Amino acid sequence: MEGSGVYDSNSSMANVLLRDEKIPCTSDVLDSTLSWVPNSSPSFHGCASSMVNFEDVNTERPIFTQIDDTKMENCNEDFDVCFHQPGKKRRLTPNQVQFLEKSFEIENKLEPERKIQLAKELALQPRQVAIWFQNRRARYKTKVLEKEYDSLKASYDKLKADYDTLCKENENMKNEPQELCDPINPLDLQSKKPTSSSQDTATNVATMLAKQEDVSSSGKSDVFDSSSDSPHYNHSVALEPGDSSHVFEADVSDFSQDEDDSFSRTLLPPSIFPKLEAECYDDDLQPNSCNLGFPVQDQGTWFWQY
DNA sequence: ACAACAAGACCATTTACATCA
DNA sequence: CATGATGTAAATGGTCTTGTT
């Protein structure tokens, strides 16, 4: 279904290629060989010429000139016997590779029909085509992995820098007047007029404490509402599938557990941690399950859509 | 409807060879 | 020329899906 229509559009190109692979290589044929590639670049021509001895175009030599002259003399009569030397690996010709690449771009999976057709048109064994696609997918995956790694590393470095900055700020705040470190009574805070530059911080802490009290008395909160549609609100909001800068947080192997804890506790008041832990590890999410609040079945497809 | 089986596709890993610096 | 590094075709062994009996 999918392949045939799209793929058929290339058949003419493949036919040209196939013809060129099999017939004696004249310069006219060479031109047509290279012209089927839409963006036939000088580099491709150069590549081809590096693999094929175009000086010998009039010698009735097939395009597969990787087979050395002595072997060629013995097997011009039977191309297949010559090319498929048992126990010898032969590189695919640039033309074959080019065509396979084009085909891979169209669809990186290989339906049986398409495999047969490709094999036929490239004068390869169907198994060779299958193996090529297999290896090509592996190479592609490696490439994607490398890109992802670079991206995650950049995110990690940035986050680590932010963390270090926060640590320093935290240290600075610890050195501020002792009164700011005393246990905070929200009611007191309301009646007191903040007098220092840490006014915002104190207010935020008071608000959080007030909320926490509210939670413990009512059993509910906007943020940690276990009966809401998003029981893992924090995870769901903080982590978006596809955003690798978030995903990486799930496995920051460079952080020790202690460092990780201190990281979190730097950003959140200690008083809410018990509640957080209780809310996060409910029936669906086991501690350390590393599922980041998403259904397990969804996680396998976060990264590798290839 | 269900289990057992075979065939084929795919993947990760390894091996073997070709090529190049 | 010999050699190590690298790229890639092919082999291997495992899992999974699908169709058949």
Q: Is the CB of A174 under 7 A from strand B?
A: no
pLDDT score of A100 more than 50: yes
Nearby residues of A250 by Cβ (< 8 Å), 6 or more positions away: A290, A292
- Percent above pLDDT 90 for chain A: 12
Distance A133 CA to C11 C1' (A): 15
Tell me the nt nearest to A91, Cα to C1': C9
Inter-CA distances, A152 with A155, A234, A242, A248, Å: 5, 21, 12, 6
How confident is residue A160, by pLDDT bands cut at 50, 70 and 90? very high
Q: How far apart are CA A223 and CA A234, in angstroms?
A: 7
User: Please, what is the average pLDDT of chain A?
Assistant: 52
Contact criterion met (CB below 8 Å) for A49 and A55: no
The domains of chain A are located at: 2-124
pLDDT score of A71 more than 90: no
pLDDT score of A163 more than 90: yes
Q: How far apart are CA A82 and CA A77, in angstroms?
A: 9
Q: Is the CB of A146 under 7 A from strand C?
A: no
Q: What is the mean pLDDT of residues A105-118?
A: 88
Maximum mean pLDDT: which of A5-14, A103-112, A296-305: A103-112
Q: Which residues in window 61-90 of A are less than 7 A from strand C by Cβ?
A: 89-90
- Which residue would you say has higher pLDDT here, A131 or A53? A131
Maximum mean pLDDT: which of A36-45, A59-68, A193-202: A193-202
The pTM of this model reads 0.47
Q: Is the CB of A135 under 7 A from strand C?
A: yes
Contact criterion met (CB below 8 Å) for A272 and A212: yes
A51-60, A120-129, A172-181, A280-289: segment of lowest average pLDDT: A51-60
Instruction: At A190, list the tokens.
Output: 């309301």
Q: How far apart are CA A88 and CA A135, in angstroms?
A: 18
Q: Within a 13 Å sphere around the CA of A172, how many CA atoms are in the beta-carbon half?
A: 8
Distance A19 CA to C1 C1' (A): 39
